[in-house]
A and B are shown apart, each in its own frame.
Chain A
């Protein structure tokens, strides 16, 4: 007998993993870039 699974639970989980991971990666990359470029400008000024 086939299990009755609500497919929407799996769709939501997959989108949460996919988009959550993508958002975290984008935000972290942006933050790292800003921090590194700010540090470079500070060192250049000193």
Chain B
């Protein structure tokens, strides 16, 4: 992991991984969407609305996966002081928040024809909404510390503490049984028929590739901004130097 602590080395890898993830993500996502909309039969109970599965589930997994990534990056920053860890965590936060918002919105749209309501304050929906607020808080905190020159450790601690919500989201449908269905996919087992499961995994792959591409693009942007700032600061110091020297000579 420390091989890529050098931004130059990381950027040379990111430069060829970004278009690779982006274009393969667009291709695989388009394939899964076409598959989900045209090839999958309607479900016996949910009817045509089952097709929402292929947007909703990958967004939910990536919303949770995003915060897991923030927690890992935060640990890497606090334990190993990895120089790119805070950049990675900041880069993950926005796409993580957008995927969580997509999950909540598509879930609400799915809930209307399936449950007869747009929203219910059950464990899964509420803990997912808490995740959205955690993302908003993390973004505000990390931007404030970056702007004010504060220590990125504060955001990292917030990232680690917020990770408590991830197992709560995961177990919520077991602990508080309400409208949301219990887990359909667990380790090695699935209650979903392969007709739906295969395109679902293709959609998860496509969305994950796009998520990775977005994170890389945001990391590249954040690194470039830091390089500009460092260069301008260095230049300003160099400009001040002759003045300071002449003042010393005149004294």
Contact = CB atoms under 8 A, between A and B. Distances in A.
A3 B220 CA distance: 50
A7 B22 contact: no
Given A11-B49, A14-B55, A25-B95, A40 B224 contact: yes
Given A14-B55, A19-B55, A21-B101, 12 more contacts: A8-B48, A14-B105, A15-B52, A18-B55, A18-B59, A26-B210, A29-B218, A33-B217, A36-B222, A37-B220, A39-B224, A40-B231
Nearest to B58: A18
Interface residues of A, number: 27
Interface of A: 3, 5, 7-8, 10-11, 13-15, 17-19, 21-22, 25-26, 29-30, 32-33, 35-37, 39-40, 43-44
A18 B47 CA distance: 20
B56 interface: yes
B82 to A, nearest CB: 21
B142 to A, nearest CB: 16
Contacts of A26: 22, 210, 213-214
Contacts, number: 100
A37 B221 contact: yes
A30 B18 CA distance: 10
6 contacts: A14-B56, A18-B56, A22-B210, A26-B213, A30-B22, A36-B225
A33 B231 contact: no
Contacts of B232: 43
A35 B225 CA distance: 10
B228 interface: yes
A21 B105 CA distance: 11
Contacts of A17: 55, 102, 105-106, 109
Interface in B95-146: 95, 98, 101-102, 105-106, 109-110, 112-113, 116
